[in-house]
């Protein structure tokens, strides 16, 4: 049996992502500040040792004998204190000098370089009087002295224990990471509160859905942030679609029951009248056939009334051509010419069966009443923000048209087929139901170009 893995909630996902981002940001910030402080501490140490070197050289003298006399007062008292951590030394041809602080220390020799150019390096290995390993930073400066015996090259080296800089960096690091840790805790709490506040509308949608399920409200209210509007609109569209479908089923069942009353009443009256034999059998056969026709029509009508809310877009031209080819065979004797003006970008967002029924009934109606010409025009309705593009179908013919005072009757919902025959078939009822199911509009006009009837089915942009 497989283990069911529980999905993280939106709040947990946001907290996890924000926590990782916060830790990464503070970590990189801390690392950058640590490196910057370390570099600054080393630069400060270099400048300090360089100043000590210049102070020693300014106060030093080289005798005619070639001996060197260093200042009696060093730049820093630590140079006179053995093991103080600050050391100085001079090497040259035939001479060597070390400060009193270097007593008992084995230091790396000065690094001879280009005269006048100082060199800072380290940490370097050194040893104290007990043989313990030390680490020091060294600043070396080579200079040329003029003496009575010629030029004398001297190299002065200043040393300082690496623990001095390490101690500064350690104090800074402890302070830095303590403050960054405190900042991380505070920011995490603020982030959690902000996230809770920002996700409150989502919880509101969840509560509203619960109210819809319990029947307390009919649909979601529109009092939600802009980012949630497409979601709530889609949910409301789904709710409305389901309710329309349910209402359509109820209406179809009511129409079916009402339609069956008449043949049933005929049979009952014939039985009460005492009809027998062949006469009764013929009446029964006729009324049963009528009931079969009624049931078939109502079921077909109900099946075509629904639609898929998020259906894939369908191309229109191919379906229209197939329908026209079939109609041209049926009405071959009339020689009707069908003209197309179909936008290549136009798409029908619905079921293929609905598109076939829509075009089939409109075009068949036009072929039936046309003299010579039928025109189909399909145009795209511009999409609105957050919605898909709509489409408009216009079918017109050069037939007698429909009188203006009969238009409302032709499009009246609920009128039976035999009551609606005004030169146009029962297919207009199916067309009207399909258009209504997609929240569209069906209109009947007079064709200004061909002179006959013009049926316009308009499907507006939807989410």
Task: Encode 16-40: b = buried (16+ Cβ within 10 Å), e = exposed.
Answer: eebeeeeeeebeeebeeeeeeebee
In the prediction, which pLDDT does 43 show?
Answer: 86
Task: For 39-132, list the strands marked E by DSSP.
Answer: 61-62, 68-69, 86-92, 95-98, 118-127
pLDDT above 80 (res 347): yes
Q: Which two tokens stand for residue 55?
A: 């102070």
Contact 138, 115 (CB under 8 A): no
Note the helical H segments in 2-142: 10-59
* Average pLDDT score, the chain: 79
Q: 233 vs 187, which has greater pLDDT?
A: 187
Q: Sort 329 into a burial class: Cβ within 10 Å, 0-12 / 13-18 / 19+.
A: exposed
In the prediction, which pLDDT does 21 show?
Answer: 84
Q: For 356-388, what is each residue's pLDDT tens digit?
A: 888 988 998 899 889 999 999 999 988 888 788
In the prediction, which pLDDT does 417 show?
Answer: 34
pTM for the full model? 0.46
Note the helical H segments in 370-419: 407-410
Domain ranges of the chain: 7-198, 226-303, 313-459
**Per mean pLDDT, which range of 39-48, 235-244, 403-412, 436-445 is the poorest?**
403-412
In the prediction, which pLDDT does 242 show?
Answer: 79
Q: For 383-397, what is each residue's pLDDT tens digit?
A: 888 788 889 999 999
Centroid of chain to Cα 321: 40
Residue percentage of the chain with pLDDT more than 90: 9
**Per mean pLDDT, which range of 122-131, 267-276, 323-332 is the poorest?**
267-276
In the prediction, which pLDDT does 269 show?
Answer: 66
410: closest CA among 397, 423, 394? Answer: 423
* Furthest CA-CA distance within the chain: 159
User: What's the fold here for domain 313-459?
Assistant: Heat Shock Protein 90 (3.30.565)
């Amino acid at each position: 049996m497989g283990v069911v893995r529980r999905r993280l909630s939106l709040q947990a996902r946001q907290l996890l992502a924000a926590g990782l981002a916060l830790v990464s940001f503070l970590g990189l910030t801390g690392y950058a500040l640590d490196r910057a402080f370390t570099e600054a501490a080393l630069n400060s140490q270099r400048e300090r040792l360089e100043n000590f070197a210049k102070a020693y050289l300014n106060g030093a003298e080289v005798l005619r004998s070639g001996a060197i006399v260093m200042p009696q007062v060093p730049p820093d008292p630590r140079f006179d204190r053995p093991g103080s951590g600050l050391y100085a030394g001079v090497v040259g041809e035939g001479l060597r000098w070390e400060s009193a602080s270097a007593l008992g220390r084995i230091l790396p020799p000065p690094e001879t370089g280009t005269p006048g150019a100082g060199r800072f390096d380290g940490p370097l290995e050194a040893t104290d009087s007990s043989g313990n390993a030390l680490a020091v930073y060294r600043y070396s400066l080579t200079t040329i002295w003029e003496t009575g015996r010629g030029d004398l090259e001297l190299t002065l080296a200043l040393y300082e224990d690496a623990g001095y800089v390490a101690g500064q960096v350690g104090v800074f690091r402890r302070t830095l990471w303590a403050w960054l840790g405190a900042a991380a805790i505070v920011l995490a709490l603020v982030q959690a509160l902000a996230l809770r506040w920002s996700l409150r509308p989502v919880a509101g949608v969840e509560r509203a859905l619960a109210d819809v399920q319990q029947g307390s409200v009919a649909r979601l209210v529109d009092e939600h942030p802009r980012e949630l509007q497409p979601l709530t609109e889609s949910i409301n569209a789904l709710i409305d679609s389901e309710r329309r479908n349910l209402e359509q089923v109820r209406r179809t069942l009511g129409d079916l029951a009402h339609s069956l009353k008449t043949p049933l009443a005929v049979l009952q009256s014939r039985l009460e009248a005492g009809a027998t034999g062949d006469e009764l059998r013929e009446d029964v056969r006729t009324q049963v056939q009528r009931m079969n026709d009624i049931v078939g029509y109502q079921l077909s009508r109900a099946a075509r009334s629904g639609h898929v809310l998020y259906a894939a877009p369908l191309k229109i031209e191919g379906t229209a051509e197939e329908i026209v080819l079939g109609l041209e065979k049926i009405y071959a004797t009339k020689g009707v010419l069908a003209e197309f003006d179909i936008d290549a970008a136009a798409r029908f967002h619905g079921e293929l069966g609905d598109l076939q029924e829509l075009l089939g009934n409109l075009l068949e109606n036009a072929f039936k009443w046309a003299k010579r010409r039928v025109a189909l025009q399909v145009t795209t309705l511009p999409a609105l923000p957050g919605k898909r593009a709509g489409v408009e179908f216009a079918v017109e013919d050069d037939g007698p048209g429909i009188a203006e005072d009969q238009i409302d009757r032709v499009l009246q919902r609920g009128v039976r087929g035999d009551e609606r025959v005004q030169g146009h078939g029962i297919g207009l009822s199916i067309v009207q139901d399909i258009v209504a199911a997609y929240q569209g509009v069906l209109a009947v006009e007079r064709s200004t170009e061909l002179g006959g009837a013009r049926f316009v089915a308009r499907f507006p942009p939807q989410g």
